[in-house]
Structure 1
Amino acid sequence: MPEFQAHRFSIAPMMDWTDRHCRVLHRTLTGRALLYTEMLTTGAVLHGDRARLLAFDPAEQPVALQLGGSEPAELAAAARLGEAEGYAEVNLNVGCPSDRVQSGRFGACLMREPELVAEGMAAMAAAVKVPVTVKCRIGVDDQDPEESLFALVDACTAAGVTTFIVHARKALLQGLSPKENRDVPPLNYPLVHRLKRERPGLTIVLNGGVPSLDAAEAHLALVDGVMLGRAAYHTPALLGDVDRRLFGGGGTVEPAGAVARYRPYVARQLAQGTHLAAMTRHMLGLFHGERGARAWRRILTVEGVKPGAGLEVIDAALAAVSGAQDERRARSLEAGKAA
């Protein structure tokens, strides 16, 4: 797949959310979207439980590994391990605003050190054959985004990077929590659009506050790709239209169809000792806005955490949705007859 197509639509790396179970669920809805791991620090990859941290299901492909770090040799070594595990891309996080990230000298604070980022990217590019990419903010704190964003992009371009995912907000590292940094700093989409206009040879992916596929399509007229985060997680059913609308192939995957596709994976994981709730927590928003959505969430939340919970919980939740929708159809039919 050409690089611009690979990045045309992707789902953001989100800490504590986009684990391997979440990614498999998302893959049941879209076969074409590029998926990302949660950010893994180079220290964790190099010195932690590597088999657990880097594990993913082959069904997730294409899936990219996101790293957090700033030491070039460590980034290169971690990238090498990611490539060996089969990841399709290695991405460097230059956007996370958490306190832990700042103290570790990685994430959004690296917006202040574009040459260091470029050095790390050059080291990764020399170490692996898969694409290496950057996910960044437009700036931090008192930086002028028109200067900070272009400085980072140009430094990394000189190091051989061609793909940038840009969260179209500053990160305010002093005074705002990580959660507030996802909402409070104003979005500056025009700056990301301008980056694409002025650096047309680069692949530019826009991220930040994109609420729907309609909004994604509008941005795709001006950039190469769009990355959705919270909208994709909280209302995953929208992903069922990604392949048809954004890639021009395939039909719509309905939520019930995604459940059917996810079920064999859940069964395999249960047999390996994974708790049901670790997988069903990512499904809570699947029927968002539909009749029976509340019953779906309640059954998965209440019954899914019980010891020994299994596939029967998902089946009961799906039956509740189906029953609510059948009841609604029956009422509509009766209303039509009465009219």
Structure 2
Amino acid sequence: MESIKIIWDFFQKEILGMHWLNRLLGDMLNGVGLDVRERIGGSLQFFLYDTVKIFFLLCLLIFLISYIQSYFPPERTKRILGRFQGVTANILAALLGTVTPFCSCSSIPLFIGFTRAKLPLGVTFSFLISSPMVDLGSLVLLMSIFGWKIALAYVFLGLVIAVIGGTVIEKIRLEEYVEDFVRNGSSVDGMERELYFGDRVRYARGQVAFIVKKVAPYILIGVGIGAFIHNWIPENIIVGLLGDDNPFGVILATFAGVPIYADIFGAIPIAEALLAKGAQLGVVLSFLMGVTTLSLPSLVMLRKAVKPELLGIFIGICVVGIILIGYFFNAVHFLLI
């Protein structure tokens, strides 16, 4: 068992976490006269390390996930989901969200397509909640920074929110609060053709180029904010706002994520810096969920598809779920770290 633990630790730290890169960058910066123990050198090391690591993992994960996604075009997906009912359909829709776009704004067009295809509203909302919050990319990147226990717990509980949220929306029957152009629109199924290995590789490469270009500015901004928090904001300020002494830290972090438009790749550097400065684990993960699920631009887009009453219920379900999960992680953090 000890040898397995050693191998796993090496994989998590040196392969996923790329700690060798952090050490290499530190040596290089020290070699040109920048002390990484000082603010400027430490900020530059944090920025370069997280930027290279995140972009490398992002490209790799998008390629792999897009290759898998090529087996499930929208038409086929709608047919698969249409065969199931009740909680089973919600679970499948939430799981589907793990292999689809990396941000909520990209998920909303698929949500509209599924709704027009007459899939149950609760099923489409289970997909909409899970897609930005718990994609497979978040699992790998969370493992590289926080460890496998936290990563798996985050993904599992995110799926729980998606399933419960979709089930609640289905039970209270809110179809009338979907905008008419969505509810009454027609779903045009494109002709599916057989894709071969080369087709899938080209599709995956195209998705890498498209998504990286789209999210790159937000990743750089997120890494920059993380570097600033990590090296310039005194630890006592972070602890005072988001540490054990503030029982409202989870609520504060959840709503702090709303104005930020970023996917989880852009938000994780900020979360990493907050945790290193003494923020509670539940606070940090609530911030991640708030950013990825409730960002203001995505809510504005969603409002075009649903009426205010349904949008408010969606926000309420997500906020309550995220806050409860945040306090749960705070309570059990000693088991995960």
TM value normalised by structure 2:
0.22
Structure that is richer in strand per residue: 1
Flag the structure with higher helix content: 2
Higher RCO (CA < 8 A, seq sep 6+): 2
